[in-house]
Amino acid sequence: VTPRVEHVAAPGSPGAAATPAPPLRVALLGFGTVGRSVARILSERTDIASRLRLTHVFNRDVARKRASWAADSIVWTERIEEVFASRPDVVVEAIGGLEPAEDWVRRALQQGLSVVTANKQLIAAAGPRLLRLAADEGCELRFEAAVAGGVPVIQAIQQGLAGDVIARVAGILNGTCNYVLSRMGSGSVSMEDAVTDAIRLGYAEADPTSDVDGVDAAAKLAVLAGVAFHRELRTADVATASIRPVDAVDFRYARRLGRTIRQIAAVEALDAATLHARVGPALVPEASRFGRNEGANNIVAITGRYGGTTAYSGAGAGGDATAVAIVSDLLALSASRGPCGPAEWPAAAMDDAHEGRFYIRFVVRDRPGILANITAALARWRINVDAVLQEPGFPKDRLPFVVTVEPCRELDLRNALNEVDSTDFRIEPLVLPILFE
Ligand SMILES: NC(=O)c1ccc[n+]([C@@H]2O[C@H](COP(=O)([O-])OP(=O)(O)OC[C@H]3O[C@@H](n4cnc5c(N)ncnc54)[C@H](OP(=O)(O)O)[C@@H]3O)[C@@H](O)[C@H]2O)c1
């Protein structure tokens, strides 16, 4: 029998089989809703075990967190020093909040360790500085999970749409508001009851202020603006309106206009350095992507100069969906595709001269001449009325009616409304942009 001779190529020669890289050693900070799901996916997905290995789980008072399904080799610790001393390849930050999360993320990057985070608050507040630090230290900071939970919108912009020039990003980024508004739109549920249900079902925090007042969506929009336009958009520069003044009657009027109401977050580039960004309730066509977006779902529509609009939708929150985004970021790191996008996000210039069509809902003590006063004030600011709508069946001393206007500057509209005799108003007029997407 002639022995078989195997050809063995010298390392580095063209025929050499590539030596598989060792798995990335992952340290997980935070074992709450998201962190637990990350650990579970890494434990269950044996198909990626050769690329990612969870070595440490850090949490305060960690003994109560220990999971029986996790590998015995994982070190559970409540000492952050132990995590850094172990020199992992990647730190996953799933703690939330600004401090101590920012301190630990900064420390990891300073040590040259890449970081994956789900923390929109952190990226909105400190993203540009942390990205610069990562670039200086030759590591990466990834944050797919920070916006729209499980919807891979950041990778879509950074990779799938890298060939386009982004002009506009618009979406429904807050599941709580979408749940509340879609409930109000599909039945005669008050805002208060819809918010209570959202809390009961776990869509909203016990204190839903940052959701309903638009702060949460503004932070996510700031992150998206950085990724899409490579400019720093500060959350405070986003024109933010609460959904609180929206009333059940607004859905009746919106329906007469073929529309419904959603909290829309939108940012557009007026030129390479100037952005216009807003978050708040708006009228959208009932049959549009946004109008049909129900429950706590998120949706993001990205408009490129060349490729037109593409849209991405799915679960905006939830441990598993968010953890998928984190694990995808980890896999991208393990494939060492290199950093995505530029490390610099210089400050954006802001444009607040928003122009568009508007819906204005008044609630007045009825008397002759009110409509004439309103239209006269609008005319003084050269604003044309498009339609006047009045639903029957409301008491005269608390009468809601709606005026829609043709395209105008929002600032002019606000000035015109300031000139209307406010003693007739039972409450401040509600101004909603009318969108076409
Ligand atoms: N949940 C979602 O659906 C979702 C979606 C997208 C993004 N995110 C983001 O993901 C991050 C984590 O959210 P989460 O929902 O998983 O929060 P969570 O359930 O409250 O988990 C946070 C974990 O971190 C631990 N922790 C907090 N502060 C700590 C500290 N100073 N030292 C040590 N451990 C600390 C907490 O321990 P204790 O148990 O002792 O509090 C908890 O186990 C946040 O940035 C959030 O915005 C969440």
Check whether 12 has a pLDDT greater than 70: no
Task: Name 361's bridge partners.
Answer: 402, 430
Q: How far is CA 68 from the centre of its chain?
A: 34
Q: Is 282 helix (H, G, I), strand (E, B) or coil?
A: strand
Shortest-distance Cα residue to atom 41 of ligand 1: 32
What pLDDT, on the 0 to 100 scale, is given for residue 203?
A: 84
What pLDDT, on the 0 to 100 scale, is given for residue 341?
A: 65
For tokens 């003044």, the residue is 245
Mutate to test the pocket of ligand 1, among 28, 29, 33 (most ligand atoms within 8 A of CB): 33
Query: How does residue 3 score in pLDDT terms, banded at 50, 70 and 90?
Result: very low
Which one, of 128, 118, 121, 133, lies nearest residue 348 by Cα? 128
Question: Average pLDDT, whole number, for the chain?
Answer: 93
User: Using an 8 Å Cβ cutoff, are 176 and 325 in contact?
Assistant: no
User: Using an 8 Å Cβ cutoff, are 198 and 176 in contact?
Assistant: yes
Task: Name 356's bridge partners.
Answer: 408
What pLDDT, on the 0 to 100 scale, is given for residue 425?
A: 86
User: For strand 75-77 and strand 90-93, is the pairing parallel, antiparallel, or unpaired?
Assistant: unpaired
End-to-end CA, the chain:
75
Ligand 1 centroid to 61 CA: how many Å?
14
Q: Is 171 helix (H, G, I), strand (E, B) or coil?
A: strand
> What share of residues in the chain are helix, strand, coil (percent, to 5)?
35, 25, 40
CB atoms within 10 A of CB 258: 12
Q: Give, for 364, the enclosing helix (H) or strand (E).
A: strand 355-364
Q: Model confidence over 306-324: pLDDT tens digits?
A: 999 999 999 999 999 999 9
Task: Name 364's bridge partners.
Answer: 399, 425
Q: Is 150 in the pocket of ligand 1 (CB under 6 A)?
A: no
Ligand 1 centroid to 59 CA: how many Å?
10
Q: How confident is the model over 413-432, as a mean pLDDT?
A: 92
Torsion of CA 329, 332, 337, 339, to 10 degrees: 10
User: What's the rounded Cα separation, in Å, for the pair 380 and 394?
Assistant: 30
Q: Model confidence over 218-266: pLDDT tens digits?
A: 999 999 999 999 999 999 999 999 999 999 999 999 999 999 999 999 9
Residue 433 CB contacts under 8 Å (≥ 6 apart), including other chains: 264, 278, 280, 282, 283, 354, 356, 357, 358, 359, 410
Angle, helix 175-186 to helix 191-200, in steps of 10 degrees: 130
**Least-confidence region, from 31-40, 333-342, 355-364:** 333-342
Query: How does residue 338 score in pLDDT terms, banded at 50, 70 and 90?
Result: low
Ligand 1 centroid to 151 CA: how many Å?
19
Report the chain's C-alpha Rg in angstroms. 26
Longest CA–CA span in the chain (Å) reads: 112
Query: How does residue 17 score in pLDDT terms, banded at 50, 70 and 90?
Result: low
Mutate to test the pocket of ligand 1, among 31, 57, 60 (most ligand atoms within 8 A of CB): 60
For tokens 């400190």, the residue is 126
Q: Is 30 in the pocket of ligand 1 (CB under 6 A)?
A: yes
What pLDDT, on the 0 to 100 scale, is given for residue 16?
A: 52
What pLDDT, on the 0 to 100 scale, is given for residue 6?
A: 41
pTM for this predicted structure: 0.90
Task: Name 56's bridge partners.
Answer: 27, 75
Q: How many residues does the chain have?
A: 437
User: What's the rounded Cα separation, in Å, for the pair 247 and 274?
Assistant: 34
Question: E strands, 94-203, where?
Answer: 114-117, 141-142, 166-172
Check whether 433 has a pLDDT greater than 70: yes
Structure tokens at 347: 């400050």
What pLDDT, on the 0 to 100 scale, is given for residue 9?
A: 44
Query: How does residue 21 score in pLDDT terms, banded at 50, 70 and 90?
Result: confident
Query: How does residue 437 score in pLDDT terms, banded at 50, 70 and 90?
Result: low
User: Using an 8 Å Cβ cutoff, are 423 and 367 in contact?
Assistant: no
**Least-confidence region, from 116-120, 146-150, 424-428:** 424-428
**Closest ligand 1 atom to Cα of 34:** 16
The residue among 397 and 8 whose pLDDT is bigger is 397
Q: Which amino acid is at 374?
A: I
